[in-house]
Amino acid sequence: MPSVRSVSGPAGPLAVWDWPGGEPTTVLLHGVGNYGRYWDAFADAVAGRLRLIAPDARGHGDSARPDDGYAAADFVADVLAVLDAYGLERALVVGHSMGGYHATMLAAAHPRRLHGLVIVDAGPEALPQGAERARRLSLERPTSFADRGEAEAYLRRTSPGYSDGVYEDRLRWLFREEDGRLVWRSSQHALRRIFAGSSDRSGSWERASGIAVPTLVVRGTRSPVLAADVARRLVTTIAGAGLVELDAGHNVPLDRPADLADAVVAFARRLPQARA
């Protein structure tokens, strides 16, 4: 089981989960509406081959919920605060979905803080149906549930196809109890602010072309978010980037945790800075 600590971020405390393991230390950034423990199955599959650090993003989980400050640059500042708090000059950064976008911005703006970058099912352009589904599930969700059974039924209906263990994990970390009901740990206000700014991805391809750290792009072949042609263009845009495609939907860390773990560990072992 990971330990957890509170890190002082620019807008308030950040809850950060820490799984012990080998080098290089790897920072995991989750997607919108999720939480640091989203990476549980992935961490189990890594099995100590890498040390993993996974913050709850601002507005999510047990981290601060500021009234403002949900632009991508604000999330990047939080990652830098986590790196500083842990005394990490550099880390391997793995980002899924929204976290992949933030990781890409971090790599473009602060390349000296990264050993390498892994972008999981994210890119400068999102398929319209996947983007709309994410917006709908985030902004039109029920505000609370009477009990775990009602919440689980909702999760199984809106996101079918996972194992019982995945649903159990998501029930534990997506919700908290309040006044006898289950409410979301992610702030509805934060999600609204994030989606309000997500339509402006101007300069994304230009930023990607300037990334100068070793990069791996991972795509789920059944993804409704990252199209195959966008993934391939991204790989050719980032100098020296590689591509791994796994039989998965958008939530690659939930669909194929072991395959993703092996791909990330293999990539980490090839990083010259990490070996040094």
Instruction: Look at residue 222 and give its three-state secondary structure.
Output: coil
Token pair for 129: 């149906």
Task: Report whether pLDDT(191) > 50.
Answer: yes
Q: Would residue 71 count as lying in a domain? A: yes
The whole-number average pLDDT for the span 241-258 is: 97
pLDDT at 201 over 90: no
Contact 181, 146 (CB under 8 A): yes
The rounded distance, in Å, linking the Cα atoms of 171 and 266 is 31
CATH of the domain at 39: 3.40.50.1820
| 155 and 168 Cβ atoms separated by less than 8 Å | no
- Establish if 120 belongs to a structural domain: yes
Per-residue model confidence as pLDDT tens digits over 6-19: 999 999 999 999 99
Q: Is residue 137 part of a domain?
A: no
Evaluate if residue 203 carries a pLDDT over 90: no
Tell me the pLDDT tens digit for each residue of 21-55. Answer: 999 999 999 999 999 999 999 999 999 999 999 99
Cβ distance 182 to 147 under 8 Å? Answer: yes
199 confidence band (pLDDT: 50, 70, 90):
low
Query: Which pLDDT belongs to residue 200?
Result: 67
Residue 143 in domain: no
Residue 122 in tokens: 């994210």
In a domain, 33, yes or no: yes
Burial zone of 153 (CB within 10 Å; 0-12 exposed, 13-18 middle, 19+ buried): exposed
The count of domains in the chain is 1
Q: Tell me how far apart the alpha carbons of residues 105 and 75 are, in angstroms, rounded to a whole number.
A: 10
Rg of the chain's alpha carbons, rounded to an integer?
17
Say what the pLDDT of residue 32 is: 97
Residue 180 lies in a domain: no
pLDDT of residue 10: 97
Strand 242-246 with 175-178, pairing: unpaired
The model carries a pTM of 0.96
**Residue 158 within any structural domain of the chain:** no
Mean pLDDT of the chain: 95
Banded pLDDT at 276 (limits 50, 70, 90):
very low
Q: CA of 102: how far to CAs of 158, 184, 208, 228, in Å?
A: 26, 23, 12, 21
Binning pLDDT at 50, 70 and 90, where does residue 273 land?
low
Distance CA 192, CA 96 (A): 19
What per-residue confidence (pLDDT) applies to 274?
Answer: 57
- First vs last Cα of the chain: how many Å apart? 29
Domain extent at residue 72: 3-126+186-275
pLDDT tens digits, one per residue of 66-76: 999 999 999 99
Q: Is residue 62 part of a domain?
A: yes
Residue 205 pLDDT exceeds 70: yes
**Per-residue pLDDT tens over the stretch 73-128:** 999 999 999 999 999 999 999 999 999 999 999 999 999 999 999 999 999 999 99
